[in-house]
Chain A
Amino acid sequence: MLKINNLHATVENKRILKGINLEVNPGEVHAIMGPNGAGKSTMASVIAGSESYEMTEGTIELEGIDLTDLAPEERAHQGVFLSFQYPVEIPGVSVTNFIKTAINENRKAKGLGDMPAKDLLKKIREKSALLEIDRKFLSRSLNEGFSGGEKKRNEIFQMAMLEPKLAILDETDSGLDIDALRIVASGVNKLKSKDNAVIIITHYQRLLEYIKPDFVHVLYDGKIVKTGDASLALELEEKGYDWIKELT
């Protein structure tokens, strides 16, 4: 599904990603772990098409489609979803209005008309129940005054509504208490299918106790330096990252 080949990226001429290779197949869950500053969030942003970074080398393909020259919204239309580490506030725009706009813009890109209100309502009901989201929450301004947990839950709610092929969860576990973590994780698990894939970016293996990864990759200094199965996450938890540094 996702093929990343020799990906290099810079920010303000500083090299952050230095040759990433990654292949993700449908139905798989990949975890990207690594110390602060390794380039984990940069990788997520570059896949999503953020213009804050310059992609200097390599290719990113989703289901055979080259994403390199696509704008962020076009990548979204292709099925890329990024759950942000720090979701932004949009005052005056309700969660409902925002998701409605997003769904209809995605449909427009596929040549479809707006989703009928009845269907939209049904979907909202279904997905908000899945994530134990209160109806009142949906009328609040997007992320404005949300707690850390509410922000992350809202990200996963949007993911549930948009049904992406590839979901990248950038430190979704940070700022979550244990209950919120469980709700978010169970939501992600329920949304998983043999046709979609998830990349989880995290520091800790905490979230991975709830969402079992098929592969764990260790990112260090802009490169994937080690790949293993779920047991690698436990090993990292136990030993820390210092021994990884010595690997390079």
Chain B
Amino acid sequence: MSKYTEDDLREELKTKEYEYGFYTDIESETFAKGLNEEVVRAISKKKNEPQWMTDWRLEAFRVWEKMEEPEWANVQYEKPNFQEIAYYSAPKPKKKLDSLDEVDPDLLETFKKLGISIDEQKKLANVAVDIVIDSVSVATTFKKTLGEKGIIFMPISEAIQEHPALVRKYLGTIVPTTDNFYAALNSAVFSDGSFCYIPKGVKCPMELSTYFRINEGGTGQFERTLVVADKGSYVSYLEGCTAPARDENQLHAAVVELIALDDAEIKYSTVQNWYPGDAAGVGGVYNFVTKRALCETNAKVSWTQVETGSAITWKYPSCILKGNNSVGEFYSIAVTNNYQQADTGTKMIHLGKNTKSTIISKGISAGKSQNSYRGLVQIGARAENARNFSQCDSLLMGNACGAHTFPYIEVKNKSAQIEHEATTSKIGEEQLFYCNQRGIDTEKAIALIVNGFSKEVLNKLPMEFAVEAQKLLEISLEGSVG
């Protein structure tokens, strides 16, 4: 009798290779390895930044130098040697690009492999793409349409030149340079990222989307994203990443700041597929991300993330619900396989009255991976009638993986209502046999079960992204578990 046991499943899992593990040969300009004040100054100079920006970076660097790398997360890895990393890498621009035809053909080929060719993207109506390759944006589309609405969507390096007052007003206000080790590092050395500003009362007519990639071996990627939604405005922002296979560990320490002013709404969706390392746990991206949002009165921020990649993930998209009646949401699917480790979750800080937050976290662990949910729900003393609902579900595949939940709840106001639900389940032989009996093979059955498990979160993604995310889930668990 042909059998498909848990062992077979695990075996197939091991042999699953990184789908997007290719390397594009684009001429790059890379700084020598190492980090000191001179390097920080050089980055700033390279970017032709104003003095205030240089000073801001230097201040961050000085703070970072005195900080210790945090160790509280439920992940184990060899700490990166920060002097062995090159802090700047940019594709050498041949000339200023006016149209997509002028984009490096190799680069276009890379996008084709990823199935996100710019041509396709252009056809996907209403999606403006700001593509970030190795830290420097090389193409920006739909800028004109956005411009007519007064929406600013551009690489942050350009925004520093063109809209210095706006950037200066908001940069670092939500995630201060001193916030944490990685945020300080990012502030000192970030090479590029995206800046988005939606003017008062404007509903952004399209999903704004950015693709990040790490390309040059051995260069860290330090992205900086700043989204400001002015009063009464709305924007849906998509961020997706894939990275080519590399042997040495790559450090990725991004900072994302969202500011939703009164009555504004920001939907921020991420599909993350950094290289997770091979089946033996060698290589893979270290992903240490700080994402935080500020909600003013009646504002709403939704974080939706599908995390399938990275060797190590350390990421807690958070909401500071400062304004009365503000709403924070966190919807997450985190998949770990082989030796991947993820410690991810959210923080909902309720400061205003009648603030509401919802947390839906779905963790899927396979192989020898460890998947942790870490969340904080904090109700401040003046947050009358604050409400939170949290649901943390874990799905296990096989016997060698782990799922952990670390919920923290701090309440300083008696009127708060907090609900927390958690479940852990395992894909069972019985479920698989049931599907098999209906003619569905094990791989397809696992994809079906995983999609069912993740549905509440997948439903929160914009259409364009939901399809890609579903595909990613299947790829990440292929063989095994799909």
A interface residues with partner B (beta carbon < 8 Å): 48-52, 54-55, 68-77, 80-82, 84, 87-88, 90-93, 97-98, 101-102, 105-106, 109, 141, 158, 162
Contacts and interface: CB of A to CB of B under 8 A. Distances in A.
A105 B455 contact: no
B453 A92 contact: yes
Given A72-B437, A92-B453, A101 B431 contact: no
A192 B440 CA distance: 24
Contact of A72 (B5, B433, B448): B433
Contacts of A51: 1, 3-5, 429, 433
A68 B1 contact: yes
Which residue of A73, A87, A106, A109 has the most chain B CB atoms within 10 A of its CB atom? Answer: A73
Interface of B: 1-5, 428-431, 433-442, 444, 448-449, 451-456
A88 B4 contact: no
Of all A-B residue pairs in the complex, the 10 with the closest CB atoms, nearest first, are: A92-B452, A93-B452, A72-B436, A76-B439, A102-B438, A92-B455, A106-B439, A73-B436, A71-B2, A88-B434
Given A49-B1, A73-B442, 19 more contacts: A48-B437, A51-B4, A71-B1, A71-B3, A72-B437, A73-B439, A73-B441, A75-B437, A82-B437, A84-B434, A91-B452, A91-B453, A92-B451, A92-B453, A92-B455, A93-B452, A98-B448, A105-B438, A105-B439
A102 B449 contact: no
A157 to B, nearest CB: 12
Contact of B456 (A70, A88, A92): A92
A90 B449 contact: yes
A75 B437 CA distance: 8
Which of B431, B435, B442, B454 is packed against the most chain A CB atoms within 10 Å?
A: B435
Contacts of B4: 51, 71
18 contacts: A51-B1, A51-B4, A51-B5, A54-B1, A55-B1, A68-B1, A73-B436, A73-B438, A73-B440, A84-B434, A88-B428, A88-B431, A90-B431, A90-B448, A90-B449, A92-B453, A92-B454, A102-B435
Contacts of B437: 48-49, 72-73, 75-76, 80-82, 84
A168 B444 CA distance: 24
A52 B429 CA distance: 9
Nearest to A79: B439
Contacts of B453: 91-92
B440 A101 contact: yes
A138 to B, nearest CB: 15
A24 B1 CA distance: 23
Q: How would you classify the secondary structure of chain A's contact residues: helix, strand, loop or mixed?
A: mixed
B434 A93 contact: no
A93 B451 contact: yes
Q: Which of A81, A101, A106 has the most CB of B within 10 A?
A: A101
Question: Chain B: interface secondary structure?
Answer: helix
A84 B438 CA distance: 11
A125 to B, nearest CB: 20
A105 B441 contact: yes
A7 B463 CA distance: 52
Contact of B449 (A69, A77, A93, A162): A93
Contacts of A82: 437
Nearest to A107: B439
A57 to B, nearest CB: 13
A70 B2 contact: yes
Contacts of A106: 439
Contacts of A84: 434, 437
Nearest to A93: B452
Nearest to A67: B1
Contacts of B429: 51-52
A91 B433 CA distance: 16
A98 B433 CA distance: 14
A68 B1 CA distance: 6
Nearest to A50: B433
Nearest to B458: A92
B438 A87 contact: no
B452 A158 contact: no
Contacts of B442: 73
A105 B453 CA distance: 21
A162 B438 contact: yes
Contacts of B452: 90-93, 97, 141
B433 to A, nearest CB: 6
B235 to A, nearest CB: 29
B442 to A, nearest CB: 8
A69 B438 contact: no
B2 A69 contact: yes
Contacts of A87: 434
Nearest to A70: B2
A59 to B, nearest CB: 12
Given A68-B1, A90-B452, A92-B451, A49 B436 contact: yes
A76 B436 contact: yes
Nearest to A144: B452
A84 B433 CA distance: 11
Nearest to A83: B437
Contacts of A75: 437
B434 A77 contact: no
Contacts of B1: 49, 51, 54-55, 68-71
A105 B437 CA distance: 11
